[in-house]
A and B are shown apart, each in its own frame.
Chain A
């Protein structure tokens, strides 16, 4: 079984400042890692994912994340945030090799609030 921990439930940040949203996971097997974003009153959409290879993954809207196997982390970063980045961000994992579809295990989410 796997689990995902997002330690920060809320992160306030000023516009144009950098931000890091933290994600740690626990799993007895290797996993695929994802970040999804949920804008107010909408469904989730994929920001980026890590499957294998380079540990630095770039996604949409200027976000990137770094996979650290030794620390079992997959933190999300953006060097300069915009008001439109205000949303809830979910880290998720999926165990590979089951052949049964992408059964995601989500963290509890981090609410990013960008202020002027």
Chain B
């Protein structure tokens, strides 16, 4: 199993550009989520999905869209990038929607918005 994979590893955008961060898992996990990690702030939940076709907002959803058309993929879209979205983005998945399940994290995407 490759686990949770994320592409790209690094990305530089200009303000106003759009892009999609890719996330895929091959563990047939039901639950997937996106976090952003900023210095001194830990990780904060952006969006999550409890299954294909079902998504919901987390703590910091503004400026981001998600969709879940398959169990495996959970892309994160930045509609119009802003410098405040400079961050490291982590995708995570877990076996079920139970609150006590271990989450498996991808290696992250480091995004810089100029």
Contacts and interface: CB of A to CB of B under 8 A. Distances in A.
Contacts, number: 79
In this complex, the member of B31, B92, B98, B99 whose beta carbon has the largest number of chain A beta carbons within 10 angstroms is: B99
Given A43-B4, A44-B105, A94-B99, A106 B42 contact: yes
Interface string A37-69: 000011111100101000000000000000000
Given A94-B99, A94-B100, A95-B99, A101 B33 contact: yes
Nearest to B108: A43
Contacts of A104: 43, 45, 103
A9 B42 CA distance: 11
A12 to B, nearest CB: 18
Interface in B29-69: 31, 33, 35, 40-45, 48, 50, 56, 58-59
Interface string A96-116: 111111111111110000000
B42 A43 contact: no
Nearest to A50: B100
A96 B99 CA distance: 6
B99 A32 contact: yes
B100 to A, nearest CB: 5
B94 interface: yes
Contact of A108 (B4, B41, B99): B41
B101 interface: yes
A103 B45 contact: yes
Interface of A: 4, 9, 32, 36, 41-46, 49, 51, 90, 94-109
Given A42-B108, A44-B43, A101-B98, 16 more contacts: A32-B100, A42-B107, A43-B4, A43-B106, A43-B107, A51-B100, A90-B42, A100-B50, A101-B33, A102-B31, A102-B98, A102-B103, A103-B99, A104-B45, A106-B43, A106-B44
